[in-house]
Amino acid sequence: MISVHALGEMRGYVRQGRLGAAAIPPQIHFDVAPCRVERDEHVDIHWAVTHAQRVVLRVLRADGTSADEVVPREGRRRIAMATVGRGQFAILATPQAGPAPRRQRPPVRQVVADVEVVAPKPRIHLEVGARVTLGEPIRLAWAIGEADDARLIVDGASLPVAMNDQIEIPSEACGERSVVLVARGQGGRAECARRVRVAAPPVVISAPTEVDGIFDSAVRIRYAISGARSAVLDPMEPGEAPQAIPVSGQIEAWPSLEARRIQILAEGHDGRRVEKTITVRGRCFEWPSIADELAILNQGLR
Residues of the chain with CATH 2.60.40.2470: 123-199
- The third-level CATH classification (topology) of the domain covering 26-118 is Immunoglobulin-like (2.60.40)
pLDDT of residue 19: 47
User: Is the full-model pTM beyond 0.85?
Assistant: no
- When the candidates are 2.40.50.100, 2.40.160.60, 3.40.50.10210, 2.60.40.10, the CATH number that belongs to 204-283 is 2.60.40.10
Superfamily for domain range 123-199: SoxY domain (2.60.40.2470)
pLDDT of residue 76: 94
Question: pLDDT band for position 212 (50/70/90)?
Answer: confident
Question: How far apart are alpha carbons 283 and 70 in whole angstroms?
Answer: 111
In the sheet with 219-226, reading across from the earlier edge strand, the strands are: 204-206, 219-226, 248-253
In Å, how far are 11, 15, 248, 252 from 18, measured between CA atoms?
A: 10, 8, 115, 127
Question: How far apart are alpha carbons 178 and 156 in whole angstroms?
Answer: 8
Please check whether residue 215 is in contact with residue 257, taking contact to mean a CB–CB distance below 8 angstroms.
yes
Question: How far apart are alpha carbons 38 and 121 in whole angstroms?
Answer: 8
Q: How far is CA 101 from the centre of its chain?
A: 68
Residues of the chain with CATH 2.60.40.10: 26-118, 204-283
Please check whether residue 114 is in contact with residue 43, taking contact to mean a CB–CB distance below 8 angstroms.
no
Please check whether residue 109 is in contact with residue 25, taking contact to mean a CB–CB distance below 8 angstroms.
yes
pLDDT digits (tens, 9 = 90+) for 140-151: 999 999 999 999
The residues, ordered by sequence, that sit 6+ positions from 193 with a Cβ below 8 Å of its Cβ are 178, 179, 180, 181
pLDDT digits (tens, 9 = 90+) for 28-39: 999 999 999 998
pLDDT of residue 11: 60
